[in-house]
Amino acid sequence: MSSAFPEIHLVRHGETEWSLSGRHTGRSDIPLTANGEEAARKLAARLEGLSVSAVWSSPSQRARNTCRLAGCDTDAVIKPDLAEWDYGAYEGITTKEILAGRPGWQLFRDGCPNGETVADVGARADRMIAELRQANTPILIFSSSHFLRVLAARWLGLPAQDGSRFILDTTSISILGYEHDLTEPVIRRWNQR
């Protein structure tokens, strides 16, 4: 079902070695795997017919290459605020490894030492939402899981911590939009594979 109001399409990047193994991939610039590249190419058919006014991408190569392989990079604008969570000391390690040294740790509550807090990521998401609402036009975004989850929570007016309640698979498509008017933000679709 289409909407009379602008829709924001979110695409999580394709598979990387680290996303496959569950390693936290924030600012490390990890390339797509062959499977990730193939899935990104298949996005072109899934996005066919989509009419947007702008394409925005995270600065990471995994997001930019997903955008390129999907055929959407012609006029893509790199937005630094779309970068994945800065995991600081937890970059490149798994949640299981973190929990072994810090039982009970939760990313969306505790953040990362020498990295970003959930408030930091929420502030970046709020800046992006302000830009999206000011643009008031359909936009396609390529980014990473944890950032997009916080973006969705903040889109709905929920605390950034509630991003923990959303899951995103690689090369999934989600849609943010509105219901009756621009004062009623909703999630129109989530984690579509």
Please determine, for residue 142, whether its predicted confidence score (pLDDT) is greater than 90: yes
What tokens appear for 131 in the block?
């830009």
Four-residue CA torsion sign, 16, 66, 44, 37: negative
Question: What is the torsional sign of CA 182, 185, 189, 191?
Answer: positive
Mean pLDDT of the chain: 96
3-state helix/strand/coil string of the chain: CCCCCCCEEEEECCCEHHHHHCECCCCCCCCECHHHHHHHHHHHHHHCCCCCCEEEECCCHHHHHHHHHCCCCCCCEECHHHCCCCCHHHCCCEHHHHHHHCCCCCHHHHCCCCCCCHHHHHHHHHHHHHHHHHHCCCEEEEECHHHHHHHHHHHCCCCHHHHHHCCCCCCCEEEEEECCCCCCEEEEEEEEC
CATH, range 8-192? 3.40.50.1240
Asked if pLDDT for residue 1 goes beyond 90, the answer is: no
* Cα–Cα distance for residue pair 99/116, rounded to 1 Å: 18
The pTM assigned to this predicted structure is 0.96
Every domain of the chain and the residues it spans: 8-192
| Digit-coded pLDDT (tens) for 19-39 | 999 999 999 999 999 999 999
Task: Using CA atoms of 35, 170, 46, 185 in order, give the dihedral in degrees to the nearest 10.
Answer: -170
Rounded Cα distance between 48 and 54, Å, is 15
**Whether the predicted pLDDT of 74 surpasses 90:** no
Instruction: Over range 101-114, report the average pLDDT.
Output: 96
Where is average pLDDT lowest: 2-11, 114-123, 160-169? 2-11
Confidence of residue 3 (pLDDT cuts 50, 70, 90): confident
CA–CA separation, 121 and 83 (whole Å): 9
Q: Which residue has the tokens 């695409």?
A: 11
What share of the chain in percent tops pLDDT 70? 99
pLDDT band at 12 (very low <50, low <70, confident <90, very high): very high
Active-site residues, by number, are: 13, 84
What is the pLDDT, as a whole number, of residue 73?
82
